[in-house]
Amino acid sequence: MKRKPLIILLIAVFLLLVPVICYSYRYGVEVPAWLKPFWRQSAAMDSHEKEESHDHAKTSASHSHTGEVTLSHQALRNIGITDAAIRTVSPGDFRIMASYPGIVVTRPGRSEIEISAPASGTIVRIYYEPGQILPPNAPLFDIDLSNEEFVAIQAELILMYRKLAIIEGELKRLKPLSEDISPKSYRDNIFQKLELETSITLSRKKLLLYGLTDAILDEELQKNGRIIRVLTICVPEVTEERIVPCIMISGGKVPDLRDISGRGASGPLQLVTLSVEKGMRVTVGSTLAVIADYSRLFIQGRAFDYDEGIIAENTDGKHPLEAVFEGHGGKQTVSNLPLRYIESQIDEQTRTLSFYVDLENRHTGERPSGFIDWKFKPGQRCELRIPSGTISDCFTLPRTAVAVEGAETSVFVYVHDEDGKKVWQKQPIHVLHQDREFVAIANDNSLKPGSRVAVEGASQLLVALNAASGGAAPDAHAGHSH
């Protein structure tokens, strides 16, 4: 019981000392002499903790103070840096490219061909589906004719052929007797023959307008005396200069027109649009289908009127254009594209000038059932790039090799391997010019020729560097356009 007051006294003294020590420590108040032993012990412990914390921070950011960052091979692969993404740089020329939006279009009057009905009738058969390749002179449609005029011309022509045969037979019989009969009778037969031949020629020309050929008229009407009821429309012979229609009678032999055309189409013909169905009635001139040759196309570019000078400088073909297409497999650049022509008018609404570039196309191979796919298709978007200048003695790198943080632009140079990891050195640079794909870097000794630079993932390397140094992480997409 005697110790209880002593314990209470000690507790009270402790509770009094703790606030005094804390207050003195925070606000720098002189500690009473009788408390200094307690103060020195507390300060020593606090100082020891601060030194340990400082040493730890110094160790963790040792590379950051020198602009170096160390990453494992797994981390590098995660940001797309492989051995192939490390490039040795050397100075050279940088081509400044002006970029313009482009779209793939057909060649007016050349790429697409409309197939029309030569006569009124009913579609009774369709031979091909859209997307299929069309062999030369292959049948496309069967039309059951219902045009009264067409049938009447045939019937009249057959009748005239019969009369002509009778008159020719009569003249042949009377020729040995011409001296014994009246000259007038003989002359009348000759006149009737001439008259029939003239009428036959006119009727044949009318039928030729329906797409029939002289061979069909000779075989079916003159020789066999049969009225044609069903016509088969075939793939026409197509050249750069003209189209030779191809029509035959149903069940007949497909005519070979290759000796007529002189030069065939430059690529395979494909059925693009089918405008009719089986059983549909069509009239003369109705569109049945559209077939196309997409082996050669145009790229239509659009530029503002003040850029006409840049485009016109490339009309001589000395500086071919480039087209950049984006797809599932990434970007593809098509080079050496010649400028075809520049339009003579400027769009009043958009103030843009259209120009056209030749584009050679190819199909990716024939699939089962005769279907083909073209690599480039009308309506496909791209970026047209036109040379507009040159920067000499500079480094050219992809934009993914450059990291931007505020006003500073940097690349990362490979230093060495350390404990199975790669060490990268941040190197500030001066960018002379940049476009959507590449940057031109000044050869001012900041980046040495022969340096091995990461051409991918520079922004991610900068994030890793700032994270190691405890700084704020920059935007990983800074300096990049998408």
The answer on pLDDT for 210 being more than 80 is no
**CATH number of the domain that residue 380 is part of:** 2.40.30.170
Q: What percent of the chain has pLDDT over 70?
A: 77
Q: What is the largest CA-CA distance in the chain?
A: 182
What pLDDT, on a 0 to 100 scale, did the predictor assign at position 305?
83
Q: Give the angle 252-254-259 at the CA atoms, nearest 5°.
A: 140
Span 187-209, pLDDT tens digits: 787 888 899 989 999 999 988 88
Residue 246 and residue 142 share a domain: yes
Residue 329 and residue 407 share a domain: no
Residue 158 corresponds to which tokens in the numbers above? 């057959």
pLDDT band at 315 (very low <50, low <70, confident <90, very high): low
Residue 255 and residue 141 share a domain: yes
- Mean pLDDT for the chain overall: 81
Tell me 225's DSSP state. Answer: -
What pLDDT, on a 0 to 100 scale, did the predictor assign at position 244?
78
Residue 117, number of CB atoms within 10 A of its CB: 23
Region 179-185 average pLDDT: 62
On whether residue 204 sits in a domain, the answer given is yes
Which helix (H) or strand (E) element contains residue 331? Answer: strand 330-337
8 A C-beta contact, residue 207 and residue 161: no
Burial class (CB in 10 A: 0-12, 13-18, 19+), 108: exposed
Q: Are strands 321-327 and 339-346 parallel, antiparallel or unpaired?
A: unpaired
The answer on pLDDT for 389 being more than 90 is no
Residue 186 and residue 211 share a domain: yes
Higher-pLDDT residue of 203, 265: 203
Span 123-181, pLDDT tens digits: 999 999 999 999 888 999 999 887 788 888 989 999 999 988 888 887 777 776 655 55
Last residue of some domain: 389, 412, 435? 389
On whether residue 48 sits in a domain, the answer given is no
Residue 142 and residue 74 share a domain: no
Name beta bridge partners: 342.
Answer: 355
Higher-pLDDT residue of 449, 476: 449
Residue 400 and residue 421 share a domain: yes
Residue 191 and residue 90 share a domain: no
On whether residue 41 sits in a domain, the answer given is no
Domain around 403: 64-95+391-469
On whether residue 28 sits in a domain, the answer given is no
Tell which residue, 365, 382, 377, has the closest CA to residue 112: 377
What pLDDT, on a 0 to 100 scale, did the predictor assign at position 264?
46
Tell which residue, 416, 414, 399, 418, has the closest CA to residue 459: 399
Residue 276 corresponds to which tokens in the numbers above? 């009719």
On whether residue 351 sits in a domain, the answer given is yes
Residue 422 and residue 377 share a domain: no
Last residue of some domain: 328, 359, 389? 389
Higher-pLDDT residue of 213, 45: 213
On whether residue 26 sits in a domain, the answer given is no
8 A C-beta contact, residue 341 and residue 356: yes
pLDDT band at 14 (very low <50, low <70, confident <90, very high): low
On whether residue 118 sits in a domain, the answer given is yes
- Domains: count for the chain: 3
The answer on pLDDT for 4 being more than 70 is no
What pLDDT, on a 0 to 100 scale, did the predictor assign at position 400?
93
Pick left, alpha or beta for residue 385 (phi over 0 → left; psi -120 to 50 → alpha; otherwise beta): beta
8 A C-beta contact, residue 294 and residue 267: yes
Tell which residue, 426, 408, 411, 415, has the closest CA to residue 468: 426
**CATH number of the domain that residue 457 is part of:** 2.40.420.20
On whether residue 476 sits in a domain, the answer given is no
Amino acid identity of 107? R
Higher-pLDDT residue of 180, 94: 94
Secondary structure (3-state) at 304: strand
Higher-pLDDT residue of 472, 203: 203
Last residue of some domain: 265, 290, 315? 290
Region 89-106 average pLDDT: 93
Span 47-85, pLDDT tens digits: 544 444 444 444 433 444 468 889 998 999 988 898 899
pLDDT band at 6 (very low <50, low <70, confident <90, very high): low
The answer on pLDDT for 27 being more than 70 is no
pLDDT band at 25 (very low <50, low <70, confident <90, very high): low
What pLDDT, on a 0 to 100 scale, did the predictor assign at position 179?
57
Residues 6+ apart with CB under 8 A from 270: 131, 132, 133, 134, 291, 292, 293, 294, 372
Residue 190 and residue 168 share a domain: yes
Residue 326 and residue 284 share a domain: no
Residue 325 and residue 396 share a domain: no
Range in 202-211, 224-233, 259-268, 405-414 the model is least confident about: 259-268
Span 320-372, pLDDT tens digits: 789 999 877 788 889 999 989 899 898 888 889 999 999 999 887 777 778 88
Residue 143 and residue 264 share a domain: yes
